[in-house]
Amino acid sequence: MQLSAIVILVLYGILGVIFAAVLAQVAISGGEGYGRSTITGFWQITGKILIMLPIMYLPLVAIGWLKPPHSPPLWLEWLAVFVAFEAMLFGGFALLKMGKYTKMALPKNDDIPLLTTGVYSLSRNPMYLGLYLLAIAAVLYMPCLPVAVSAVTGIIIHHKIIINEEKFLEKKFGQSYRNYRKSVRRYL
pLDDT, one tens digit per residue, over 118-175 is: 999 999 999 999 999 999 999 999 999 999 999 999 999 999 999 998 998 999 999 9
Is the Cα dihedral 171, 177, 179, 185 positive or negative? negative
pLDDT at 34 over 70: no
Cα-based distances in Å from 55 to 24, 62, 69, 84, 147? 22, 12, 17, 10, 9
Encoded amino acid at 99, one letter: G
Distance CA 167, CA 101 (A): 19
Can you give the pTM of this predicted structure?
A: 0.88
pLDDT the model gives residue 103: 66
Q: Where are the alpha helices (DSSP H) in the chain?
A: 3-28, 41-62, 74-98, 126-141, 145-173, 175-183
pLDDT value, residue 154: 95
Q: pLDDT tens across 45-57, in order?
A: 899 899 999 999 8
For residues 73 and 93, give the distance between their C-alpha atoms in angstroms, rounded to a whole number: 30
Q: Which of 24, 38, 36, 37 is nearest to 164 (CA)?
A: 38
Q: Under a CB-based contact definition with an 8 Å cutoff, are residues 23 and 94 in contact?
A: no
Number of domains making up the chain: 1
Burial of 78 (0-12, 13-18, 19+ CB in 10 A): middle
Tell me if 81 is assigned to some domain.
yes
Average pLDDT over residues 55-72: 88
Whether residue 104 is predicted with pLDDT greater than 80 in this model: the reply is no
pLDDT at 74 over 80: yes
Res. 107: pLDDT tops 70: no
Report phi then psi at 144, rounded to 5. Answer: -150, 155
What is the arithmetic mean of pLDDT over 30-45? 76
Domain membership of residue 71 (yes or no) is yes
Residue type, 163: I
Q: What is the mean pLDDT of the chain?
A: 88
Which CATH number does the domain housing residue 148 bear?
Answer: 1.20.120.1630
Contact indicator for 155, 51 with CB cutoff of 8 Å: yes
- The pLDDT of residue 66 is 87
In-domain check, residue 188: no
- Residue 16 inside a domain? The answer is yes
pLDDT tops 90 at residue 70 = no
Domain housing 26: 3-183
